Structure 1
Amino acid sequence: MNLALFFDSLPDELTAPSAAPTTVAAYATRFAEAFPDWRTADLALIGLDEWRGTAAGAPAAGQHGANCVRQRFYQLQRSTGPLRLVDLGNLRPGLSLEDTYERLREVVGALLEANTIPILLGGGHDLDYGQFLAYEPAHDEPAPAINFAVVDSRPDMALPMPGTPAEDSHLRRLLLHHPNFVFSCAHLGHQQYLTPPDILAAFEKLHFETMSVGELRTDRRLAEPVLRQANFLSFDIAAIRWQDAPGYYPASPFGLSNEDAAQLCWYAGHNEQLTSIGLYGYRPDHDPHGLAAGTLAAMLWYFIEGYYHRKPETGFGTYRFLTYTLVLPGTGKGEPTELIFYKSRRSDTDKWWMEVESLADQSVKRIVPCTHQDYLHAAQGDLPQRWIRTQALLG
């Protein structure tokens, strides 16, 4: 596939040789005249400037959010590890919004086939629908259901009524897409006073995990196993409080801190299962001092740094893991008689997993990320909520 047909090259100021040989700019291959070789890259940055799905419309003319973030990102210092990053430039919007979604499906799908991780930057949050479509299995190709995570100040689950912006209902569209290839969805960072109770009740009924901004601010480590299970992440900058990222509308004085956001991206980068990430919603016309651009640049840096710290976590039940088998009373029909937990033997990590075997069909099982606290709850005879949710999803 000739992806170059879908992209505009970067302006000269973003492709000039770096004056400092240690910066990200000195190592990233950027689209100037020749389109980068995305098939041999580890990561591919894609700028988006599609706003037809938003209520506020496009930012002021001449202000391209992804380019503003790039200006800050390329000035950052490269880490000590490798960096095989290409910048494909800015995706040209389609004739219609639906055309843009389909274009994203094709581009992200091509990168996934090449094992190159797309990093989508800019545009309305509804663009994650195109990111999501890239994971849809072909009609003649069975594929496992996916897990995804969304970070936003509210779940965008509005009914798609006439006049409703796509950004307000895109999550509903993902979850109702046919054919359904979603196993689980996790929503992180919602604010209680912005979220209708019936939406949270619907997520609970669907056995999807939610985590409020208060829970994350209390202990952001709670998000690590959730993000470790995701195949892709969709992050709306509106989840970050305005003081730390004044690049969205309407403003909110509450939300995640920039440190929280960077930590979540670090967790996502570490996840071997995660194959794409989207950072959406940045409006440069609301960011006169470039603070939000700096926050997003740091989030990109931490995601990429996390990616290059990935270590294979395979071979459950072998010498690579400590195995803990807990015997439970199992008095009820829907209760197991034992639970199996795995802990990595690596000294630099505290990662736990839990084996969930379907009570309806013992041949169906999943090993899901969990926390040490889940193990402690089970050791006291209580079934962890994560086990209950996964069991319900296995059916």
Structure 2
Amino acid sequence: MIDFSHLQDFLTPVSKTQLHDDEEYDDLQIGRTIDLYEEENIPDLDTADIILLGAGEERGNGTISGGNATPDAIRREFYRLYHWHKDVRLADAGNLIAGRSLTDSYAALKSVLTELIDAGKTVIILGGSHDLTYAQYQAYAGKKYIIEVTVADALIDLQENSPVRSQRFLLDMFMEQPNYIRHYNHIGFQSYFVQPRMLETLDKLRFDCFRLGNVRENMEDIEPVLRNTDLFSVDVNMIKHTDAPANSLSPNGFSGEEACALSRYAGMSSQLSTYGIFGYNSAKDKDNLTAKQISQMLWYFMDGRSVKNKEALLTERESFLEFHIAFADIDTVFLKSKKTGRWWMQLPDKTFAPCAYSDYLRASNNEIPERWMRSQERL
């Protein structure tokens, strides 16, 4: 069981009255159905499938803010949406209390996440600057969990000489010893913002980086990446300015619909336990459109979780179509779920790795799927 009395040392409650401006929620709106940490209410986190956690710490961006205006701006829009997924229970643990220093805030976030991860919960972090991903990772590293990390970001935050923590936190994660990152994926980087040598370094580590244009050409190929992910971190700068006005980095990026698709794929993962959405600044948000965008991403994450709940285990072979394929003198098996249409491919060690329909087509044409080859390189 989750000891909420211990978590309360790090959290402050949320006022639903302030969020809905004294207007009552409809019976089927999320604001009515979610179990929220308020002054008079302690949420039952043990029965929740997904737990929201506000973390408005922004000092990693070089600002002085450690407040929670940003998470509450997202909540205001999210709570107005309708709860369609009766099999997905939501709870809101409130907002993280900002520490005296940025390091203190990292430690607090790590402590809260560690307890929730150990309880088998999926946590959505409403950030906050993107460097909070480091504390998100520390929750796993502190327990020596070896994980797969995926970041969606127009930039690659590996700027070694930058004094701004949010521009170099990936370096801290990769260089830390002992290291518990089994694999790293970077989704949606925009080439003109990225130093080419950064990509060369990541490739030497056998990490996978997916350029924005390549991902947009076939979004479905990214679903297996997120299916295998434990920690997912999103910077809202991955979304183009017109669809997320608070993002002033670039006029280009994922559309709002594509961002929702990525979020849905993350929700479909049975592996994923933390999902952080960072880089949103409510003070720069025109007509709250970015908060609306993020709230709809959260809704699609719930939609993905509902799909995940219907998926069969790989051992239940009667729930899968089985295809025996030979390519490049390699005999293997592809599985397709009858319930969700998702694919898996068998590796030489007889384990099954998530894949896409396009991988099956390549194998059928006697080509080695790149996803299969990259898996072998890492082994």
Q: What is the TM-score of this pair, normalised by structure 2? A: 0.92
Change (3 A) 1:203 1:261: same
| TM-fit CA distance, 1:136 | 2.0
**Greater fraction helix:** 2
Tell me if 1:7 matches 2:11: yes
Q: Which residue of 2 aligns with 1:206?
A: 205
Q: Which residue of 2 aligns with 1:391?
A: 376
Q: Which residue of 2 aligns with 1:101?
A: 106
Change (3 A) 1:164 1:313: farther
2:54 to 31, 47, 51: 47
2:243 touches 2:290 (CA, 8 Å); kept in 1? Answer: yes
Matches within 5 A, 1:67-82: 67-82=72-87
Tell me if 1:154 matches 2:155: yes
Letter of the structure 2 residue corresponding to residue 351 of structure 1:
R
What secondary structure is seen at the aligned counterpart in 2 of 1:125?
coil
Q: Which residue of 1 aligns with 2:97?
A: 92
1:39 touches 1:111 (CA, 8 Å); kept in 2? Answer: no
Q: Which residue of 1 aligns with 2:216?
A: 217
2:78 touches 2:298 (CA, 8 Å); kept in 1? Answer: yes
Change (3 A) 1:165 1:313: farther
- Please provide the CA RMSD for this pair: 2.1
- Counterpart CA distance in 2 for 1:37 and 1:345 is 34
CA offsets, 1:196-230, max 9 Å, x none? 11112222222222211112222222211111111
What secondary structure is seen at the aligned counterpart in 2 of 1:202?
helix
1:149 touches 1:188 (CA, 8 Å); kept in 2? Answer: yes
- Counterpart CA distance in 1 for 2:346 and 2:188 is 27
1:47 touches 1:91 (CA, 8 Å); kept in 2? Answer: yes
Letter of the structure 2 residue corresponding to residue 340 of structure 1:
V
1:31 to 14, 29, 37: 37
Tell me if 1:247 matches 2:254: no
1:272 touches 1:312 (CA, 8 Å); kept in 2? Answer: no
1:376 to 346, 356, 361: 361
- Counterpart CA distance in 2 for 1:215 and 1:18 is 44
| TM-fit CA distance, 1:81 | 2.0
Tell me if 1:296 matches 2:294: yes
Aligned residues: 371
- Counterpart CA distance in 2 for 1:365 and 1:132 is 29
CA offsets, 1:228-282, max 9 Å, x none? 111121000011111111123x431111111111111111111111111000011
1:43 touches 1:118 (CA, 8 Å); kept in 2? Answer: yes
What secondary structure is seen at the aligned counterpart in 1 of 2:25?
coil
What secondary structure is seen at the aligned counterpart in 2 of 1:110?
helix
| TM-fit CA distance, 1:193 | 0.5
1:340 to 333, 339, 343: 333
CA offsets, 1:120-168, max 9 Å, x none? 00200000111111112646xxx5x311211000111111x3x521111
What secondary structure is seen at the aligned counterpart in 2 of 1:26?
helix
Q: Which residue of 2 aligns with 1:275?
A: 273
- Counterpart CA distance in 2 for 1:369 and 1:239 is 24
CA offsets, 1:315-364, max 9 Å, x none? 3582222222323444xxxxxx3232222133xx321111222xxxxxx5
Letter of the structure 1 residue corresponding to residue 125 of structure 2:
L
CA offsets, 1:177-212, max 9 Å, x none? 222222211111110111111112222222222211
- Counterpart CA distance in 1 for 2:361 and 2:51 is 40
Letter of the structure 2 residue corresponding to residue 309 of structure 1:
V
What secondary structure is seen at the aligned counterpart in 1 of 2:124?
strand
What secondary structure is seen at the aligned counterpart in 1 of 2:354?
strand
Unaligned runs of 5+ in 2: none
- Counterpart CA distance in 2 for 1:365 and 1:41 is 35
1:4 touches 1:35 (CA, 8 Å); kept in 2? Answer: no
CA offsets, 1:275-309, max 9 Å, x none? 11000011011113101010011111111221122
- Counterpart CA distance in 2 for 1:156 and 1:229 is 22
Matches within 5 A, 1:225-244: 225-244=224-243
- Counterpart CA distance in 1 for 2:45 and 2:334 is 39
Letter of the structure 2 residue corresponding to residue 112 of structure 1:
I
Structure 1 consecutive aligned stretches of length 4 or more whose deviation exceeds 4 Å:
none
Tell me if 1:136 matches 2:121: no
